[in-house]
Chain A
Amino acid sequence: MSKDEIITIIAEHVRAVVPTLEAHQFSHDDKLKELGANSVDRSEILMMTMESLSLKISLVDLASARNIGELAGILREKLQSS
């Protein structure tokens, strides 16, 4: 799965959790917090994304991601090594 495909999945869940972003065009540089997702929203988005990817990892493994692009990158690596 490509990084862009993972970003599409993340974006789908962000839109579900933060409906005001329905029309937002997501980019690699987007930061969830700056988009208005609070800490619970971010946990929800990550959990939904991990389920979509059938990826069972700890949330701690994703903590270093500074934006959606980096998050997709870490998820892609985890997918490849799982």
Chain B
Amino acid sequence: MKNYNRAEILISGVGVTSAIGQGKEDFVSGLLQGKHAFEVMKRPGRQIPHIDSENEHGSPFLGAEISSLTLPDSLPRGLLRTASFSSQVALASLHEAWNDANLNGIDPVKIGLVVGGSNFQQREIVQTQKAFHERLSFLRPAYAFTFLDSDLCGLCTEYFGIKGLAFTIGGASASGQVAILRAAQAVQSGEVDFCIGMGALMDLSYWELQGFRNLGAMGPQRFTGEPALACRPFDKDRDGFIYGESCGAVVVERADSRQTHIKNPYARISGWAMTVDGNRNPNSSLDGEVRVIEKALSQAGLKTNQIDYINSHGTGSVTGDQIEVDAFSICGLNDAFINATKSLTGHGLSSAGAVEVIATLLQMKAGFLHPTKNLENPVEPVCNWVSHKSISHEIKNSINMSMGFGGINTAICLQKY
């Protein structure tokens, strides 16, 4: 196996499904307009079974759900019958990325798939267990493998004919970015020539939602009756993340992977890094975030003043957002434009890192930066926020941040090609 340590790593295709748009055109238009889809969640399995109206903690969960999913006509209905919602959204997103990168005709043994996320089919499992609770002996046999996250890999590799490698990889809310990092490593090492990095849709049930609420990680506490105001990363009135359904897939390849060079790739992955904090808990670490920024910039060979755009992790977490801007300040990144994609999409958890890399690539391509919804009174220190309206800006070098429970920090530097 060749080693391509100095190889140029490119992103040649993207596919995205979110509550503010399916497909890159819809998604980028949603970003530009500062669209949102936050409301009381309706998907079965996200309602508290017995609401105690006297108890504010029993209020319905707010979030952003995909209103209608369009699946490619070519998907066999027999395959979809037992496919989880996460898998269906993955098939749709990968279908877009696959065609975008024109992977048809590539030797399938040279293509890999890395899916970011673990335990991402929780609602599906809760619903199945509810349906078969009193008729366990008739439990559908396919449950024996559909409960596994890796079933998503099986479905995607079967449908697209991928024969290089495929697995899931967990990094909590950094999973999507961890998957892209692993995909970049897979093409750099020569394991495969093309690798899809995906952030899987984290399909939360009311159990996980209640857990996040009880932990104090998920909002809203103040804006319970005002869904449009609830998600407010980096604003002084933020009180936790708001969930949002999404999935993103990017195709990563070396510049020499094809006989004929790819035309107009989205960007070059100039650097990436991962650090961990040695901490099992959900709290983030200033030291870990500073180190991951410095490491990614060092790999990219960039000075901080060359970064002109930051796609923040920015969830709306009271302490997490503060630590993140402190890290930007320590690293001298205050002059770069910053926005928070989650203010529009909600927090996709396992998908977030991949969806936000796609948001960066599409902004890079379109020459604008999207607004950060509800950013009325930004936290200090002062940063160069894109707040109420989108602005024109040609991104040359960007950095994307992702952090996950359990002390995980990742960063990716993207460079205009």
Contact A50 B77 (CB under 8 A): no
| Residue of chain A at shortest CB distance from B132 | A51
For the complex, give the distance between the alpha carbons of A50 and B82 in Å: 19
| Residue of chain B at shortest CB distance from A46 | B141
For the complex, give the distance between the alpha carbons of A20 and B81 in Å: 12
8 Å CB contact of A51 from B81, B82, B135, B142: B135
Q: What string of 1s and 0s marks CB contacts (under 8 Å) between A40-65 and chain B? A: 11011001101100001000000000
Q: What string of 1s and 0s marks CB contacts (under 8 Å) between B132-149 and chain A? A: 000101111110010000
Contact A47 B138 (CB under 8 A): yes
Does B105 lie at the interface of the complex (its beta carbon under 8 Å from any beta carbon of A)? no
Does A18 lie at the interface of the complex (its beta carbon under 8 Å from any beta carbon of B)? yes
For the complex, give the distance between the alpha carbons of A40 and B158 in Å: 15
A residues contacting the other copy or chain, number (CB 8 A): 14
Contact A18 to B135, CB < 8 A, known contacts A44-B140, A44-B142, A47-B141: no
Contact A40 B142 (CB under 8 A): yes
| Residue of chain B at shortest CB distance from A19 | B77
Which chain B residues border A40 with CB–CB below 8 Å?
A: 141-142, 145
Does A17 lie at the interface of the complex (its beta carbon under 8 Å from any beta carbon of B)? yes
Contact A51 B141 (CB under 8 A): no
Which chain A residues border B137 with CB–CB below 8 Å?
A: 56
Does A16 lie at the interface of the complex (its beta carbon under 8 Å from any beta carbon of B)? yes
Does B78 lie at the interface of the complex (its beta carbon under 8 Å from any beta carbon of A)? yes
| Residue of chain A at shortest CB distance from B138 | A51
Q: What string of 1s and 0s marks CB contacts (under 8 Å) between B331-356 and chain A? A: 00000000000000000000000000
8 Å CB contact of A16 from B76, B81, B138, B145: B81
8 Å CB contact of B78 from A20, A47, A56: A20
Contact A19 B78 (CB under 8 A): yes
Taking A40-B141, A44-B142, A47-B138 as known contacts, 19 extra A-B pairs with beta carbons closer than 8 A to each other, sorted by chain A number, are A16-B81, A17-B78, A17-B81, A18-B78, A19-B76, A19-B77, A19-B78, A19-B81, A40-B145, A43-B141, A43-B142, A44-B140, A44-B141, A47-B141, A48-B138, A48-B140, A50-B138, A51-B138, A56-B137
Give me the interface of B with A, judged by CB distance under 8 Å: 76-78, 81-82, 135, 137-142, 145
Enumerate the 3 nearest inter-chain pairs by beta-carbon distance, A residue then B residue, closest first: A43-B141, A51-B138, A19-B77
CB-defined A-B contacts under 8 Å, sample of 13 = A17-B81, A19-B76, A19-B77, A19-B78, A40-B141, A43-B142, A44-B141, A44-B142, A47-B138, A47-B141, A48-B140, A50-B138, A51-B135
